[in-house]
Amino acid sequence: MRRRYLIKRTLVALLTVWVAVTLNFALFRLAPGDAVTNVSRVPNASAETRAALREEFGLDRSHWDQYTAYLGQLAHGNLGVSFANYQPVATNLREALANTLPMVALGTAIGILLGVLIGIVAAWRRGSAVDSAGVLGSLLLYAMPTQWLGLVLVLLFAGTLPVGGMEDPFLALQDTGTWATVKDRLEHMILPAATLAFGLVAQFALITRSSMVETLGEDYVLTARAKGLPDRAIVWRHAARNALLPVTSIVAVSIGSIVGGAILVETVFSWPGIGTAMYQAVADRDYPVLQGTFLLLTLGVVVMSYLVDLLQLRLDPRIGT
Amino acid sequence: MKALRLIRRHPAATAGAALLLVFALAAALAPLLAPYPVDRRSGPADAPPSGAHLLGTDDGGVDVLSLVMHGGRVSLLVGLCAAVTAVVIGGGVGLAAGYFGRWTDSVLMAITDYFLVVPVVPLMIVVAAIWGSSVTHIVLIIGVLLWTTTARTVRAQVRSIREQVYVRRAETIGAGHLRIIARHVLPQIGALLVANTVLTIAVAIFYETALAFLGLGDPTAVSWGRMIQDAHRSSAISNGYWWTILPPGIAVTLVIFGASLLGRAIEDGTGAGLRPSRLAVRGFRVLPRGEVPPR
């Protein structure tokens, strides 16, 4: 049974990838301008470049041929050429992705850990002032638009912490050693990661709390209490471990919103990552880059939520039985 | 007296409703109440708050208080229309899936799961960038992408109503699908639909500000999202002009906060809250309250 679930889940993931790729193909054929030649509309491109692109993506052929040509080029990692800097989109995005990942990973980890912690404590002290403060504070934090929260942090910390970019451009010229570079990178990461974390703290505190409240009402918690176990053991060893199961599945669902938050955060802090690439692509109407980022983000989310599901399958023997 | 009791019993719901009401009134009456027009300058550029301009002026010398009041018109309207769109789609999908079950359910829930995974913001960005951004487009883009949670909660609720004895009996004595849905199912999910609309308003306004911030808002309409974007672009932040950035953000935050409070309160009343175990997309055996185990 579990094997069947695993196979089904894998098929669904593959189907989702296929839908995403196809959607990506279809959406951009609807783009304004000469839809058929959009991919080759690189401004100021030489006649040879244009001809080469036409050949690569089969733009003089039928939609179906174009679709298969697109799939073929994708399989080879070819995402087209940026309108803005005439570089291959894949090269642009590889660098951007490498910049994005550490910052988003840091913010997500902090956000989830802190949120789960607050949620557990709030549920444990249900009905108390701590609980009300946790819930209301989370709701208030949850209500703040990500980009606005980022801007407010800039307003508050401008001068004490770096508020833009990923590194101090002058540091590289001074040759101050590895340690200074690492410290500089981390300092630049604090505010963007914090902004991202704040939104997640709220979300995960609320979810963990209600999951925990549900779990604390279970019979085995009552049994544990009847055995005379100390509160701490009941909460952390018995209840929290089970309450966290649904929370992992929420992680899978919220990866999409983390990506959305990352785009906004990067735009606020001019972080040279995927989000800024997307923002710039929108501003420049650079369709190949826009298409590439969209595809990359969608695939990333699908793969991540597939992995979280596998993790869950491992954690919870009830799934798929 | 009755109203007083209601307020005492549901302080969160009352506070949420009051917040929404205040902002809705301010927006609706903006043409009458706003101290200055928003299409021309009424003072020096970037002036801090003073007696003449309670919230100061922006980089174009336009009164910020008036902008916040007028901006609420677009933001709240987009939020409401997008939420209604989303709830109509989500309610329809959830109703059909929960009521008819079998393959209808499988297909609709597969689609729902797909939309639940897809990263919404990038998709909105792409569609808005290709399609062009007017207020109508923004409403449709947000509405069409935000129906999944409604579909899932409504489906769960309809499934449990479907199994009630009186529905079975009505079916046995020959009541048609339309009659059962209209007479027995819809009245019971009404409150749930209202709760979802209110909660979706919060999310829709959140996304409206996000799209506007990324330069994809309607260029002709003043909204709270636009104001935040303007403050960002005009380097008001680096100059420390806090009065151009705080008011629109606080307005958005309070409206979303109010909608969350009210929506959650109504949802709790229906007993069909979006419990974590219900949001769990795949094969959870921990059954949410009121859901019938599949046979």
Please report the pLDDT score of residue A321 as a whole number.
61
- Say if residue B256's pLDDT is above 50: yes
Who among B117, B214, B277 is closest to A256 (CB)?
A: B117
| Mean pLDDT of the region B33-43 | 75
Please report the pLDDT score of residue A171 as a whole number.
66
Cβ-defined contact of A249 to B256 (cutoff 8 Å): no
Cβ-defined contact of B253 to A140 (cutoff 8 Å): yes
| Mean pLDDT of the region B24-35 | 82
Give the distance from residue B166's alpha carbon to the nearest chain A alpha carbon, in angstroms: 30
Give the angle B293-B147-B272 at the CA atoms, nearest 5°.
Answer: 40
| Mean pLDDT of the region B12-41 | 83
Give the distance from residue B117's alpha carbon to the nearest chain A alpha carbon, in angstroms: 6
- Confidence band of A111 (pLDDT split at 50, 70, 90): very high
Say if B249 is an interface residue toward chain A (CB within 8 Å): yes
- Say if residue B281's pLDDT is above 70: no
Q: What is the pLDDT of residues A125-182, one digit of tens each?
A: 887 888 888 888 888 888 899 889 999 998 888 777 777 777 776 666 666 677 777 7
Residues of A in contact with B201 (CB under 8 A): none
Residues of B in contact with A283 (CB under 8 A): 215
- For residue B244, with 0-12 CB atoms within 10 Å meaning exposed, 13-18 middle and 19 or more buried, which class applies? buried
pTM: 0.82
For chain A, the C-alpha Rg in angstroms (whole number) is: 24
For chain B, the C-alpha Rg in angstroms (whole number) is: 22
Please report the pLDDT score of residue B250 as a whole number.
92
d(CA B237, CA B231): 7
Name B274's Cβ contacts closer than 8 Å, sequence gap at least 6: B149, B152, B153, B267
Q: What is the pLDDT of residues A288-306, one digit of tens each?
A: 788 888 888 888 888 887 8
- Confidence band of A110 (pLDDT split at 50, 70, 90): very high
| Mean pLDDT of the region B57-62 | 76
Q: Convert A61-83 to b/e letters by CB count within 10 Å (16 or more is b).
A: eeeeebbebbeebbeeebbbbbb
Please provide the average confidence, as pLDDT, over all residues in chain B: 79
Please report the pLDDT score of residue A58 as a whole number.
60
Give the distance from residue A62's alpha carbon to the nearest chain B alpha carbon, in angstroms: 22
As beta bridge partners, residue A161 has: A158
Name B161's Cβ contacts closer than 8 Å, sequence gap at least 6: B167, B184, B185, B188, B189
**DSSP secondary structure letter of residue A38:** G
Please report the pLDDT score of residue A34 as a whole number.
43
Cβ-defined contact of A155 to B116 (cutoff 8 Å): no
In percent, how much of chain A has pLDDT > 90?
Answer: 7
User: Could you tell me the sign of the dihedral formed by the alpha carbons of B247, B253, B259, B265, in that order?
Assistant: negative
- For residue B132, with 0-12 CB atoms within 10 Å meaning exposed, 13-18 middle and 19 or more buried, which class applies? exposed
Quick check: helix, strand or coil at residue A50? helix
Q: What is the pLDDT of residues B176-223, one digit of tens each?
A: 788 888 888 888 888 888 888 888 898 899 998 988 888 887 877 888
Give the distance from residue B139's alpha carbon to the nearest chain A alpha carbon, in angstroms: 18
Q: Identity (one letter) of the amino acid at B188? A: Q
| Mean pLDDT of the region B131-135 | 80
Say if residues A283 and B216 touch (Cβ distance below 8 Å): no
